[in-house]
Structure 1
Amino acid sequence: MSASPLVLPPVRLLPADELARLAPAVPLLDRALRLVRWAGEERQVDAMGELLEADLVAAATELGLDGTEGEEGLGEVAQAWGAAVETGLLRLEIEEGAEESTLVGEAAGRAVRGEAYEAVAAGDPHEVLDAWLGAAEYALADAAALDYEGLREALDDGDRSALDEADWDPEQEAEFLDTALANLYVLMAMDGATPDSDQGGAVPLPVLAASLVVPDEMEQPSDAVLQEVTEVMLRLDEHFRLLLPTGLLEYQPVDEALIEEESEPEFSQAAADDLDPEEISRYGLVKLSPLGVYGMRERLADAGAHAPAVGDLADGPAVDLLDALTEYPDHVARAEAELWLEGRKPAEAAAELLAAARGDDPGAPGRRLICQQTLALLGAEAEPALRDVLDDPELGGLARVWLTERGAADVPPPSAAMVFWLTIDTLAAQLSADDDAELLGELIRDLVARHDGFFDAAWRVDHPATADVLEAMGRLHPDRKIAKDARKAAFKARSREGAAG
């Protein structure tokens, strides 16, 4: 399936209570909560709501960051304090007019515990997750506001003025980072990564970088595009290192030795084909954490995207299930179908699925294919519902397949017309789903080879998609004569449809 910015593939989420147990252990939220407890009843702040210098140092000691090299420890304290304020764990009470009347670093008000802290302390899962997501949002904005090259220059020179001269657009950088995380979300969803899996799901950093740079229609990236991929890869590496304390990501950074070996560690698909997994990992591996999947889904939904989660359809009608699953990756479709079946009696579920699969609209073949795949998850208890539709022209074929596969007795053989109708219906569903053209071509070649005179019978099939399927067979079959026969049959089918109309 192809995901657009507004229609995203479904993801698997951990239950809210499990996520809420993970959130307080995330470094950023953990530090923010510890600072609130350390601050006590109140703590003096300056006009910007920041800790006074002496308290900043004391807070670093409280968090065990006082031994951190350079100013990094104080910066992490300031970030945790800012996250606490941003999420409402701390509430600021600044004196009116203090910004104009007090000097930098002077006390101008106080910070007190906020209502959000009390709610988090009470353990409400949704309050805990709201606090974590607010802290992560704060860190994302903070990351986009930093100029990494300028920061290096400033620290090397001992002069922070270099930051002011750097060419940096925080809004543009925030959009870049948001897009990268959204692409990571989609890549993981399409790969079928489970939220609690320690293995799998990690995306090589160059692959993520390429998703931001290489146009979909470009089969072989140019040298200029590959150079841009490398630059984006290193840019992402800087961002993701900073975001590790948020709990959004699980990240293995680019190997420093690799950067030293090459001025810019170029990566191409050709190179990837020659590298073993351990070597590929040197270029960086990233995945959203279970919290990160949850957080990105919340952010994307807030931005207007349709971001479903596995289980959303469990309580809905069968027609909604079948319509949705035609667009889902196979591994997710199965998981969603299992959840839908879980709370229903097999015979009743089968009857509802079969009723929802009927129709002659363009989406009906896809619904029937998904229906057949979902019915395959049911056992013998569903048999009565399948026998009830043996005479149904749309469902009788798939019912016979289901019954035969389970060794059921007294299954009447299908008529030739029913066999051809089911064949056309199945091919129509696979064409509509944009299945792999090469695999579909193999299926078509095998089908034609096993049935002499296939096209002489196929064009007569009374199915809305007959002509379209035959035309597709003409495009996909490599044998020129057979392809021509398919096109002739398609023409006959269209003529028959016109005459019937």
Structure 2
Amino acid sequence: MSAERPSLPPVRLHSEAELARDALAAPLLARAVRLARWAGPGTRVGAGGELVEAQLPAAAEHLGLDADEDGAAYASEAWRLAVDTGLLDVEDPADSEDGEGGPDGGESEGTVTVGENLALLTGGSPQDVLAIWLDGLEAVYADATAPAFDDFADLVNEDGSIDFDALDWDPEAEAEFLDGVLGNLYLLTVSEAGPGEDPLPLPALAASVIVPDDMGEPTDDVLEQVSEAMMRLDDQFRVLEPIGIVEYRPLDESLLIEADEDGTPSADEDDVTRYGLVKLTPLGLYGIRARMLDAGVDAPAVGDLAEKGAEELLAGIAYYPEDLARAEIQLWLGHHGSTGAVTAARELLSASRGSDAGAPLRRLHCQQALALAGAEAEPAVRAVLDDPELGGLARVWLAERGAADVPAPSESMIFWLAVDTIAAQLDADGDLDELQGLVEGLAGQHSGFFDEVWRVDHPGTAEVLEAMGRLHSDKKAAKEARKAAFKARSRKSG
């Protein structure tokens, strides 16, 4: 079973219980819950399900906010989320029996009742909570990509229709831009070369989606695009932060006062933090991954393979970082522990056989998995001592545990294992210095190594010897490796 590289590195997510607690603590969802519990038969809503303006001060006061314009805006935002996530059910006035106007004879008003999802947030499972939170994330995401305008009245035509052209807004382009930014932020967060636990400066994130990879020094036009992207992202992250997916330190507004005539913030190379800092939260990693999976993106997570077969496990972890591969193996062994270590070891050994291109790497990870399986796996390991592909691996495993009565390997098995080990490391794209040390160590352990190894009946012999010729620091040994590679190719073709 040949392994394919995932498009994204694997992520280690928090448990669903921890993520559900984070979701309930997200400021926007917490406010939405409080308003859903506050709403009653006398609560007045507009035709679109929004809380009528006259009730916004009371809603803000219930949330502990000032009954001013900002408090009303926060209350309105929380109310919309409560409706969007099913915490509240709103009946449109057109669907009511009388369809009469509001209490003041004005525009018709709807009625509101508690939605079934409100009870799920307190009495449901973590999965129920996260499903509701994901609905909320989608609603907030739509708000973040919505057009901004100073005066809605300017967009209304004489006939009452909306002049969408005046918005200069492309919804698909806006969503694609934010998807790209959040995708890059996710990749940088889970990548070993990323910032780790540290937040990312907003200019760097904006540049990651604007500046071409092959561009050396960005042009003035590109730098202006980066500045414009920063301004968009500053607005969008302010909208996204309350739902709990990011921790965001906003752009320092004093920079805007010093802005250039084109409206972009002025440069301050001494303090990049003034331009904003953003970091995905554990809940954000979960949410963005969920959106990517819905879009068909391969975004693996530790634990995905725990219930799979051994073939899928070894293929799936082929290109995982060592610590995450170990974590995935431990989960797999824990899930398959009910069948016993011997059965699990047999499945792993069977899955690691093969002469395809991915087989050496499978055997390398099989050896890692057997190391975690413990001494109980010994009967299964001893059963493959005479296997031409697994016998060397089995002897190494037994020797590392000080097992008795381990038969000495034949010379051909030693050479075959050496070729298989280097082939696996080449496929894994590991550290070059470590690989060079492995190459020189294996070649140095056996006198006349290159005189014999080219005869090894392994599908990767020639490629391994060519790599040894490139990597070996001793010129004479490197030349011998290249000559041996030529002999191996000639033998294979003959």
Shift, 1:13, TM fit: 2.8
Shift, 1:451, TM fit: 4.9
The alpha-carbon distance between structure 1 residues 192 and 332, as it changes in their structure 2 partners (threshold 3 A), is farther
- Counterpart of 1:170 in structure 2: which amino acid? P
Q: Which residue in 1 is equivalent to 2:109? A: 108
Cα distance in structure 2, aligned partners of 1:220 and 1:416:
52
Q: Which residue in 1 is equivalent to 2:161? A: none
Shift, 1:245, TM fit: 0.6
Q: Which residue in 1 is equivalent to 2:159? A: none
Cα distance in structure 1, aligned partners of 2:446 and 2:202:
48
Shift, 1:485, TM fit: 4.0
Q: Which residue in 1 is equivalent to 2:344? A: 349
1:412-427 equivalent positions in 2, closer than 5 A: 412-427=407-422
Q: Which residue in 1 is equivalent to 2:28? A: 28
The alpha-carbon distance between structure 1 residues 311 and 97, as it changes in their structure 2 partners (threshold 3 A), is closer
Shift, 1:121, TM fit: 4.5
Q: Which residue in 2 is equivalent to 1:303? A: 295
Cα distance in structure 2, aligned partners of 1:261 and 1:451:
70
Q: Which residue in 2 is equivalent to 1:182? A: 183
Cα distance in structure 2, aligned partners of 1:437 and 1:221:
29
Cα distance in structure 1, aligned partners of 2:473 and 2:145:
52
The alpha-carbon distance between structure 1 residues 484 and 260, as it changes in their structure 2 partners (threshold 3 A), is farther
**TM-score normalised to structure 1 length:** 0.81
Shift, 1:230, TM fit: 5.1
Q: Of 382, 397, 404, which aligns to 1:387? A: 382
1:322-341 equivalent positions in 2, closer than 5 A: 322-341=314-333
1:125 and 2:126 matched: yes
- Partner of 2:94, secondary structure, is coil
Cα distance in structure 1, aligned partners of 2:224 and 2:247:
26
1:472 and 2:467 matched: yes
Structure 2: unaligned runs, 5 residues or longer:
157-163
RMSD of aligned C-alpha atoms?
3.7
**TM-score normalised to structure 2 length:** 0.82
Structure 1: unaligned runs, 5 residues or longer:
194-198
Aligned length: 472
Question: Per-residue displacement from partner, 1:282-322 (whole Å, max 9, x unpaired)?
Answer: 65443322322222222222222233332222222211111
Cα distance in structure 1, aligned partners of 2:215 and 2:377:
47
1:378 and 2:373 matched: yes
Identity of aligned residues (%): 55
The alpha-carbon distance between structure 1 residues 471 and 291, as it changes in their structure 2 partners (threshold 3 A), is same
Q: Which residue in 2 is equivalent to 1:81? A: 79
Q: 8 Å contact 1:45–1:109 — kept in the other structure?
A: yes
1:18-417 equivalent positions in 2, closer than 5 A: 18-41=18-41, 43-66=43-66, 71-96=69-94, 106-147=107-148, 167-191=168-192, 200=197, 202-216=199-213, 218=214, 220=216, 222-223=218-219, 228-229=225-226, 231-254=228-251, 264=265, 284-343=276-335, 344=337, 345-417=340-412
Q: 8 Å contact 1:230–1:265 — kept in the other structure?
A: no
Q: Which residue in 2 is equivalent to 1:196? A: none
Cα distance in structure 2, aligned partners of 1:227 and 1:424:
53
The alpha-carbon distance between structure 1 residues 219 and 484, as it changes in their structure 2 partners (threshold 3 A), is farther
Shift, 1:472, TM fit: 3.0
Cα distance in structure 1, aligned partners of 2:259 and 2:456:
63
The alpha-carbon distance between structure 1 residues 445 and 101, as it changes in their structure 2 partners (threshold 3 A), is farther
- Counterpart of 1:247 in structure 2: which amino acid? G
Question: Per-residue displacement from partner, 1:457-499 (whole Å, max 9, x unpaired)?
Answer: 2211100111222233344456666555434322321221222
- Counterpart of 1:112 in structure 2: which amino acid? T
Question: Per-residue displacement from partner, 1:76-132 (whole Å, max 9, x unpaired)?
Answer: 22221111111122222122299x997998343222222222433433433322221
Cα distance in structure 2, aligned partners of 1:265 and 1:413:
72
Q: Which residue in 1 is equivalent to 2:454? A: 459
